[in-house]
């Protein structure tokens, strides 16, 4: 009986630990990192608390109450700040100056509002490389601005899936969009800036909908699923919203490849033409001496002088001289 009681206590502690360490967003550690926390409703803000969770202990970093002086923990003084435009606009994102490894951990952003009460977002800061490096794309989906985009997780047929989680993967952070666990009957409420639709049922467990897609929705989306047998599958799709600015990233490589291909073909044609012309120039000097010799031989012959044959040379040649009368010289 005592052993059973101890086991229940351990399970209770494990459950509490999992609840404490669950996160909505993972952020890459950097010196000037920003932890996003934006309340989506238009309720009246009564208080905001930023805390760091270390095991079972919590350290209050900032407590903000409208119209009152803001409290900042001395260890975080001059190291964290809110943007001036954020205060009073339900955007209480926390920016860090000169963050270090000591700032790795889980943070909680807690809104006290009226009349809906508490709203909390948990952010995990990790020391990692770009998150996109580990998320290679399996395919892509193209859509136009304003459309409702449905992302489907491509899994093997008749796979006994019981849990699916959708995430948006950016170089510096990962945001959970939707999560459903059929075995436990739990569904995650997204704290992501954009509203997404999803249903926690066997029929629609593998899909998530992004309504009224915008250019900022372009990027990598990852689906992580787990079967009742314990097997796990990951599917990553790149969403492309085809407006002018976003489409450049995909049109330019294609156009650049086409231009490069044309340039290579042009260079090959020029090389072939040049080689042919060079061969002709090499052959021409060899023919010129023969032509010149024939021309010289032809030019040496007078057009009025006949060409003598061998028989003609044997004939006698007669020359006629005029005869003059001989007179005696006069004597004086």
What tens digit of pLDDT does each residue of 94-103 get?
Answer: 999 999 999 9
Q: Which CATH architecture has domain 132-246?
A: Sandwich (2.60)
Q: Give the C-alpha separation, 223 to 135, whole Å.
A: 10
| Closest among 166, 170, 137, 163 to 149, alpha carbons compared | 166
pTM greater than the 0.85 cutoff? no
Kindly report, residue by residue over 261-279, the tens digit of the pLDDT: 888 888 989 988 888 887 7
Q: What is the pLDDT of residue 322?
A: 55
What phi and psi values does residue 266 have, to the nearest 5 degrees?
-65, -40
Q: Give the C-alpha separation, 54 to 59, whole Å.
A: 8
Q: What is the pLDDT of residue 307?
A: 45
Q: Give the C-alpha separation, 304 to 110, whole Å.
A: 121
Q: What is the pLDDT of residue 328?
A: 56
Q: What is the pLDDT of residue 297?
A: 47
Q: What is the pLDDT of residue 331?
A: 54
Q: What is the pLDDT of residue 145?
A: 94
Q: What is the pLDDT of residue 255?
A: 54
Q: What is the pLDDT of residue 202?
A: 77
* Tokens describing residue 79: 């190291």
Q: What is the pLDDT of residue 264?
A: 81
CATH classification number, 8-127, choose in 3.40.50.300, 2.60.40.3880, 3.50.50.60, 2.60.40.10: 2.60.40.10
Residues with pLDDT less than 70, the chain: 1-21, 84-89, 244-258, 283-332
Output the CA torsion sign for 261, 262, 264, 265: positive
| Every domain range in the chain assigned CATH 2.60.40.10 | 8-127, 132-246
* Cα–Cα separations (whole angstroms), residue 56 to 18, 25, 102: 11, 20, 17
Q: Give the C-alpha separation, 42 to 116, whole Å.
A: 10
């Amino acid at each position: 009986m005592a052993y059973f009681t101890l086991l229940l206590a351990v399970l209770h502690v494990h459950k509490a630990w999992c609840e404490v360490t669950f996160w909505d967003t993972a952020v890459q550690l950097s010196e000037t990192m920003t932890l996003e926390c934006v309340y989506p409703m238009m309720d009246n803000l009564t208080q905001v608390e930023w805390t760091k969770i270390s095991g079972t202990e919590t350290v209050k970093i900032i407590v903000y109450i409208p119209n009152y002086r803001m409290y900042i923990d001395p260890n975080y003084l001059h190291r964290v700040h809110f943007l001036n435009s954020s205060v009073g606009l339900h955007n209480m994102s926390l920016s860090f100056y000169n963050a270090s490894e000591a700032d790795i951990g889980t943070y909680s952003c807690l809104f006290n509002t009226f009349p809906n009460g508490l709203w909390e977002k948990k952010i995990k800061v990790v020391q990692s490389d770009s998150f996109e490096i580990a998320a290679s794309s399996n395919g892509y989906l193209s859509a136009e601005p304003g459309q409702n985009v449905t992302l489907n997780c491509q899994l093997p047929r008749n796979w006994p899936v019981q849990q699916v989680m959708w995430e948006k993967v950016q170089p510096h952070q990962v945001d959970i969009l939707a999560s459903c666990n059929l075995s436990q009957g739990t569904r995650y409420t997204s704290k992501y800036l954009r509203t997404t639709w999803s249903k926690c049922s066997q029929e629609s467990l593998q899909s998530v909908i992004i309504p009224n897609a915008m250019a900022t929705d372009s990027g990598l989306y990852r689906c992580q699923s787990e079967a009742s047998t314990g097997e796990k599958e990951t599917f990553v799709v790149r969403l492309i919203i085809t407006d002018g600015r976003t489409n450049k990233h995909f049109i330019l490589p294609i156009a650049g490849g086409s231009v490069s291909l044309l340039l290579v073909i042009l260079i090959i044609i020029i090389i072939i033409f040049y080689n042919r012309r060079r061969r002709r120039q090499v052959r021409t000097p060899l023919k010129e001496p023969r032509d010149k010799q024939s021309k010289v031989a032809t030019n040496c012959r007078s057009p009025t002088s006949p060409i003598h044959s061998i028989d003609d040379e044997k004939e006698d040649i007669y020359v006629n001289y005029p005869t003059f009368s001989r007179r005696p010289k006069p004597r004086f």
